[in-house]
Structure 1
């Protein structure tokens, strides 16, 4: 402000020096603080201003131009004072009041207000209660819940997935013979249900019936030819018998002639008898050749007869193929031929879908496949040979263990109405992972798609006594989008943990009852940590045990904020309420909070009742959608056993793997809470005496 006053004074002095230089005097009656040229401007008549200045050269000096202009004005009789700037009139006392006095008064008022309000000092902390009850009170209170094993819940490991219903088998029927369709069943239309053996279409059988009759005639001719050959063979055998008898007679004749003396039989007669024997033998050989030829002919005729029989059988089959029948029970998907249409051999005419079974195509994540494979398998027979085990080894990696699957379909637009079927995981759908989703394609087979259950609002409906239960989709059909629930029997022990117990980094805080945490004194730790900047954390080089005692000491004494609140309420700082008022030591159990690592959440724990509901029973809150949910978890090395306790309440930063806390006795150990109350009663009395 001094600089501002100095600048104002300098301006006034410059004005006075200007008046002295021009030689003009202020008119009488004018204000000294006003414009010194005001009276002269009022009395002097205005004169036109003429510009006598020549244009300034591009490189001229501004001061030279001003001096030249002033000299020109004086020569022209123009008063140079008329060109001086006119300043507004100022009121110096008013200016000093606004710029000096008011700020000083504001500063004084602010200082007085600060002095009047004064400062709030924190109340002195009461002495720390170092009794066992005080130490128990100093421990942070936590909420714990017992750990349940999956087996104790009566549920299995349930993995959820989605799938689409696909046909178990689809057959495309084609014509096996060519011809004109002369008959078509009324059921041979898309969407119609047909049974096995029902005639769908019939092709003109005239040509095939004639062919059958022709082949029957040919077969009959072959039979007759065989009969002729058989008769020839019989005749030849008879002729051979006669020839043998004739030869025998002739041979006896020759022998008789040889036995006669020479004078009784001539040589010519003897030769003639021998020639007769040779002729008879030649006739026998001729008969034998005819018999052999007849046998060969019979063999050929037998082959012709068998060929005719085969051709006849083929003709009969072709005649039967003129009728196109349903090979299975199913539904007609499409039909591509109409009545009086000529179809060639191999032309598709009807597509039928097998409805005796249904498949569901789904995809599992690799982590879900891990649990499918990691099940309790059937016990092997000790008597199994090494060859049987070796035969199963190559296909072990390409088969899935039999797994029960619940297939559920939620009727859109009908909230709370669910249809579900029982199925079985049959195996992989092909081999390998999907290149886009990196999931494993699998197939679920529903053996009886007509055996279903109806669930309405979480309750099973009696189908026999409820006619409206069969009004919905009572069977699985292709294209249905269904929910799957795999029921697994894991080979490892799993536990059920609430979602509040799962901490970031796959950690869990386990509560272990340990009364020895009350053996650490609080007072020495408080004195040792008096100069520490952060009492809640261990200082450099401080053991973790001492750091925990420091935190207990801070918890035992009331904080500055509580003291300030008590002072604002109007109560004196020395008469603070006892922080342990209403504290019952028997209602708490001291212990350690142990940090367990390596917790692996598997899937959300959903009971059968919740699964049967169209929506979750517990509606999640808007602030925490996972609140109230539970998760099935795998514990490394089985560190967290059944009926252990985990901490679900939030705490601050835990820097150690073991931290002393207290938990409600009615949750941890209901029967031991009475004993702790008895032990704490004398300690409470001594604590009152000390205080």
Structure 2
């Protein structure tokens, strides 16, 4: 019992000491001081709205295809006895270059026979003409009452025989032309300046009429089919359905490992029918001298290259160009009023692409738009202007092109330098 009593006494003493300390601290507490809250306005960068005239630029992608591609086939039978040194896949051939020769001996023989037949027909015709002249003299010597009928006169004057001889000569001449053509067809020539895509024949091979010899494609011009969605057609001045209009300029380019190469092209035509599955209209761009044969210093645009295309379109007036990141859901922008207060402003934008937006309605010249990303709860807050720049000078420091802008049906609009700036941190 004594130990329990000692523990109880110690516990009571400890509680008494703790209570005494607490009372002492409460009595000696310092008086409370009420501090006024310090308000620090948010620092923002702003762009001053400047209306501009900008030109629409529709982006698309496509594959380079030849304007003309021909499958060369044999028109006569025979053995290939000669091939050109440049008759190789990928080699260039000029218009009229001889590619192959088929054994011509049988066709030379046919030509000699046809020439002999023509000479024989000419001799026969000359004889008939002579007989007709003799018959005409004799006919004139006959008494007038002996001339019975026109049919008898024609037969006496050998007109049927003369017409037969003339017909035989025409037939012989036709056979001669055919023999010459068949002999000419033993020589296979390039129909135009081209590159050999495939070859299906070789020296010593026997071919018949219709046998494939080679596939060639033209290097004078190339084409690219570019898909344009129906919603983006209003941005472009498309060629008329009858053609003949001056097509829009197109900048073709590739970006391979950071190396960007450009080629000039023109919008030649549209295919005139929407694709039923994708609901796009294909515009056809045309490139002159794609293999740079006339411009040796230019990079060749090879068949099958996948290219991006910037198609120059219509011009729009009274457009404010801003960085794309300032646009919030619901087409809302932060606009700063004369009292430096944040206000939500709903605007109308053209379809955007890349790193910029193009405001067509909702902003007036001189309106200040925040370039700093802010929380939606700050509507009505007072801000401090850190820096200000006209919207038409937002060219340097533009953010990099987003992956979305690389979509084949993306639309961007150009008004000089690329717009955009980094937001203040």
TM-score clears 0.5:
yes
**Contact 1:403 1:488 (C-alpha < 8 Å) held by counterparts:** yes
Distance 1:215 1:345 in 2: 21
- The answer to whether the 8 Å contact 1:237/1:291 transfers is no
Change (3 A) 1:668 1:497: closer
Contact 2:334 2:342 in 1 (8 A): no
Q: Structure 1's 109 and 433: CA in aligned 2 closer, same or farther, altered over 3 A?
A: farther
Deviation readout 1:386-420 (Å, 9 max, x if unpaired): xxxxxx7xx48x999822111123343xx5x4321
CA contact (8 A) 2:248 2:312 kept: yes
2:35 to 123, 133, 139: 123
Larger relative strand fraction: 2
Partner of 2:311: 486
Secondary structure of the structure 2 residue equivalent to 1:177: coil
Tell me, what secondary structure is at the counterpart of 1:235? helix
Could you say what secondary structure the match of 1:476 adopts?
Answer: coil
Of the three residues 634, 637, 647, the one matched with 2:370 is 647
Per-residue deviation, residues 626-656 of structure 1 (Å, max 9, x unmatched): xxx5x141424xx435554323345565799
Equivalent position of 2:264 in the other structure = 422
Q: CA deviation at 1:360?
A: 2.8
- Hey, what's the Cα distance between the residues in 1 that align with 2:70 and 2:269? 22
1:17-51 CA-to-partner distances (Å, cap 9, x unmatched) read xxxxxxxxxxxxxxx79xxxxxxxxxxxxxxxxxx
Higher RCO (C-alpha 8 Å, min separation 6)? 2
Residue deviations 1:285-305, cap 9 Å, x none? 489725346212222322222
Deviation per residue, 1:396-445 (Å, 9 max, x gap): 8x999822111123343xx5x4321101223446843373x665544321
**What residue is the counterpart of 2:219 in the other structure?**
355
Native 8 Å contact 1:593 1:661 kept in 2? no
SS in 2 for 1:123: coil
Cα distance change of structure 1 residues 140 and 185 upon mapping to structure 2, 3 Å threshold:
closer
- What is the alpha-carbon distance in structure 2 between the residues aligned to residue 170 and residue 346 of structure 1? 17
Question: 1:333 and 2:203 equivalent?
Answer: no
C-alpha contact 1:150 1:632 (8 A) present in aligned 2 = no
How far did residue 367 of structure 1 move?
4.0
- Asked whether the equivalents of residues 45 and 387 of structure 2 are also in contact (C-alpha less than 8 Å), the reply is no
Partner of 1:242: 141
Counterpart in 2 of 1:633? 358
1:197 CA displacement: 0.6
Partner residue of 2:289? 448
CA distance in 2: counterparts of 1:111 and 1:179, whole angstroms: 124
Distance 1:141 1:319, change over 3 A: same
The reply on whether 1:92 has 2:4 as its aligned counterpart is: yes
Instruction: Give the secondary-structure state (helix, strand or coil) at the position aligned to 2:352.
Output: strand
Q: What aligned pairs does 1:97-496 form with structure 2 within 5 A after superposition?
A: 120-123=32-35, 143-151=45-53, 156-244=55-143, 281-282=145-146, 284-285=147-148, 289=152, 291-292=154-155, 294-372=158-236, 375=237, 395=241, 402-412=247-257, 415=258, 417-428=259-270, 431-433=273-275, 435=277, 440-450=281-291, 474-491=299-316, 493-496=318-321
Q: Using the TM superposition, give the Cα deviation of residue 156 of structure 1 relative to its aligned residue in structure 2, in angstroms.
A: 3.3
Contact 2:342–2:378 (Cα < 8 Å) also in 1:
no
**How far off is 1:227 after superposition?**
1.9
When the two structures are superposed, what TM-score results if normalisation uses the length of structure 1? 0.48
**Preserved CA contact (<8 Å) 2:89 2:199:** yes
**2:10, 2:63 → 1: CA distance?**
86
Give how far 1:483 is off: 2.7
| Residue in structure 2 matched with residue 47 of structure 1 by the alignment | none
Q: 3-state DSSP class of the match of 1:422?
A: strand
User: How has the CA–CA distance of structure 1 residues 318 and 117 changed in structure 2, closer, same or farther, with 3 Å as cutoff?
Assistant: farther
Find the aligned partners of 1:182 and 1:346 in 2 and give their Cα distance: 18
Q: More helix by proportion, 1 or 2?
A: 1
Listed one character per residue, the Cα deviations across residues 328-383 of structure 1 (whole Å, up to 9, x for unaligned) are 112111211111110111111111121111223443444444422xx4x89xxxxx
Query: Is the contact made by 1:361 and 1:441 (CA closer than 8 Å) also made in structure 2?
Result: yes
Separation in structure 2 between the aligned mates of residue 318 and residue 590 of structure 1, nearest angstrom: 90
Which entry has the higher C-alpha Rg, 1 or 2?
Answer: 1
Q: What is the alpha-carbon distance in structure 2 between the residues aligned to residue 449 and residue 180 of structure 1?
A: 36
8 Å contact from structure 1 (residues 334, 350) kept in 2: yes
Q: Distance in 1 between matches of 2:305 and 2:27?
A: 81
* 8 Å Cα contact 1:161/1:364 also seen in 2: yes
Moved more, 228-237 or 318-327: 228-237
Q: Normalising by structure 2, what TM-score?
A: 0.75
